Structure 1
Amino acid sequence: MRRLRGPLACLALLLTAGCSGSGGPSAATHTPSTHDRPPAAETSSAAPSATASPKPSPSAPASATAGAGAKPSARPTAVAPVEADFPNARTTGPRTRLKPHATGNMSIKTDGTVIKGWDITGSLDIYANNVTIVDSRITSTNWWGVNLRPGYHGLRVLHTTITAVPGKGPDNGGVDYAVSNMGTSSIEVGWCDISVFGNALSMGQGNIHDNYVHGLVPFRNAGGEWQHTDAVISGGGNTGRLVIRHNTLLNPVDVNRGASASIGLFADTGHVSNTVIDGNLLAGGAYALYGGGEGATGITVTDNVFSTRYHGNSGVYGAVTAWNAEGSGNVWRNNRFADGTPITPEPAG
């Protein structure tokens, strides 16, 4: 399987215009996809109200490419009982009754906006600080479910279901990002039930915790290629800290239809650094984890369980690749298959 650089090349260009297959300069810290048209025009602006209330007081580096001789392993596949301890449909998503809101592709421009209890048909494009989306559901046919624009901070997406309509998205019928962080500030995504999107959680910095990412849907992108799919993806070059803790991250897509990783740390826009991957359940992809490659530093991977529910070694070609064991501050500890078998990564290269 060969991973292409294109899926991580052009999201930032959506600020002004779509990008072609050749790509172009990017203003974002992560730019995960190849697009051929700009996002939908702004249709409305949400201001604090009774229901939206004021705040209370995507070719990769060689190290990320399966070798020509790589073959799927023959480990037996199974769903182990230990997997029941991780986030699932019962522990994620909204906790309250929802009210329908056919927002369309809505821009939010008021600082401190809180959206709570909304069942949204549309997407949210955030041009404001300290916006909270909680106990809601978003069904998108846009490039994203929620997107934070550069220059803004403080976004929190909590206890929310984020999904899409397969075949109805703008990327040749596909949808790309459930939550996208185009800026340089941290965002929080917690206790969310996320499905369908190709690159579900796309960011270089943030706090991703207690989420259930599943049911990614393959599609051919606007360039006619299978869009690479990842439950979590980071394109490198991040200036902040990325924490990925206690999530269920599943990528069931066939490798011949674009499966890339459950967690993909790719050095597409710069070296990967300052990332914590702790206590997650991973399954699927060409490899379940891409570790950042030779230039990666400050990557801590601890206490993760690699499920064999889809493939014998968690990913088609193995559990992990592109791990830089010699990188400064890199730690690999107590990572194992669901049956308890320890995992030791091959060196990056």
Structure 2
Amino acid sequence: MTDPDAGSKLSITDSEVRAPGYYEGAVWGGNLTLTRVEVTGGQHSVHCQSTCTVTDSWLHGQYNDPAKSFHTNAFITNGGHGIVLRHNTLHCDSTLNSNDGGCTADVSLFGDFERVYDVLVEGNLLKANASSISYCAYGGYQPAKRFPVATQIRFVDNVFERGTNGKCGVYGPATSFQSSATGNLWTGNRFDDGTTVNP
């Protein structure tokens, strides 16, 4: 965990991060750079505040306590900016438990604590989960959140795996992307069979 307000930074390259049974993000904070890293465990693989770059990495195997109602994610921000996800395999693979614990998404952008802006999600594989993942990506627009509008959100050339139900998630591949917001871009995103994915 880093504290970006204190100026701390973390760079991990060509490594594995394992956080079995851990209740927070396996990698958590801001000023994070992950390059060719496999992350397993943690409620979330990467929980970013701001200024996070994740490249050529594999995020999967989140911790979902069967006695809890965890909402797990491969990558999540609850408010932040300066985020780049490029050429990763992102898989929230928790299965739904008896307490309704399970995945939220492979990529979750939520304006809970501050505004979400300046996010690039490019050239990633978003893996399917028809058990507990509602959508494979949440694009930042959440009217019920404290900061409902996300800007400069760019989803470019990502591949969404169809999976067993053909939708990536239980309900579809992506939601909560506001095409009309300033600087937002959705282009080149497709299912693994080549079909266009629209938010």
Shared fold (TM-score, shorter chain, > 0.5): yes
Instruction: Place the TM-score, normalised by the shorter chain, in its bin.
Output: 0.7 to 0.9
Of stretches 336-345 and 254-263 in structure 1, the one that deviates more from structure 2 is: 254-263
Quick check: 1:234 aligned with 2:77? yes
Verify the 8 A CA contact 1:263 1:288 in the aligned structure 2.
yes
- Residue in structure 2 matched with residue 159 of structure 1 by the alignment: 14
Structure of greater Rg = 1
Deviation at 1:254, TM superposition (A): 2.5
Structure 2 distance, partners of 1:261, 1:310, is 16
Structure 1: distance between partners of 2:51 and 2:164: 29
Q: How far 1:281 sits from its partner (Å)?
A: 0.4
In the other structure, the counterpart of 1:282 is 126
Once the two structures are TM-superposed, the CA of residue 300 in structure 1 deviates from its matched residue by 0.6
Q: Label 1:217 to 1:309 Cα distance change in 2 as closer, same or farther (>3 A).
A: farther
Partner of 1:315: 169
Describe the shift of the 1:269–1:311 C-alpha distance in structure 2 as closer, same or farther (beyond 3 A): farther
2:20 aligned partner, one-letter code: V
Change (3 A) 1:304 1:267: same
Write the distance in 2 (CA, Å) between the matches of 1:270 and 1:214: 26
Tell me how far 1:320 sits from its aligned partner. 0.5
Tell me if structure 2 keeps the 8 A contact 1:286–1:316: yes
Match of 2:144 in 1: none
| 1:253 aligned to which of 88, 94, 97 | 94
Aligned with 1:299 (options 109, 133, 153)? 153
Residue type at the aligned position of 1:326? S
Q: Cα deviations across residues 65-118 of structure 1 (Å, max 9, x unaligned)?
A: xxxxxxxxxxxxxxxxxxxxxxxxxxxxxxxxxxxxxxxxxxxxxxxxxxxxxx
Q: How far is the alpha carbon of 1:232 from its aligned partner?
A: 0.3
Q: Which amino acid aligns with 1:299?
A: I
For residue 32 of structure 1, what is the aligned residue in structure 2? none
Which residue does the alignment assign to 1:187? 32
1:339 aligns with 2:193: yes
Which whole-Å CA distance do the structure 1 matches of 2:92 and 2:187 have between them? 23
- Asked if the contact 1:252–1:310 (Cα under 8 Å) also holds between the matched residues in 2, the reply is no
User: What amino acid is the match of 1:250?
Assistant: H
Alignment-derived partner of residue 118 in structure 1: none
**2:103 is the counterpart of 1:264:** no
User: In 2, distance between residues paired with 1:308 and 1:197?
Assistant: 25
- Could you tell me how far apart the structure 2 residues matched to 1:304 and 1:201 are? 19
1:206 to 52, 67, 85: 52
Task: Note closer, same or farther for the CA distance 1:279–1:329 as it changes in structure 2 (3 Å cut).
Answer: same
1:154 deviates by 3.5
Aligned mates of 1:165, 1:276 — CA distance in 2: 29
TM-score, with length taken from structure 1: 0.50
Counterparts of 2:37 and 2:63, CA distance in 1 = 18
Give the share of equivalent positions with the same residue, in percent.
30
- Partner secondary structure for residue 189 of structure 1: strand
Deviation per residue, 1:220-259 (Å, 9 max, x gap): 5xxx6411100000011x2x41001110001122344321
Q: Distance in 2 between matches of 1:309 and 1:333?
A: 22
User: Deviation at 1:158?
Assistant: 1.1
- How many angstroms does 1:310 deviate by? 5.4
Higher normalized strand content (fraction of residues)? 2
What RMSD, in angstroms, separates the aligned Cα atoms of the two structures?
A: 1.7
Please state how far the C-alpha of 1:218 moved relative to its aligned partner. 1.2
What per-residue deviation string (whole Å, max 9, x for no partner) do you get for residues 246-292 of structure 1? 10001122344321000000111122111000000002321100000
Distance 2:166 2:95 in 1: 14
- CA distance in 2 between partners of 1:272 and 1:165 (Å): 29
Aligned to 2:145: none
1:267/1:292 contact within 8 Å kept: yes
The answer to whether the 8 Å contact 2:20/2:42 transfers is no
| Number of aligned residues | 184
Q: Which amino acid in 1 is paired with 2:8? A: H
Deviation at 1:195, TM superposition (A): 1.1
Give the alignment's TM-score, normalised by structure 2: 0.86
How far apart are 1:333 and its partner, in Å? 0.1
Q: Which runs of 5+ in 1 are unaligned?
A: 1-146, 170-174
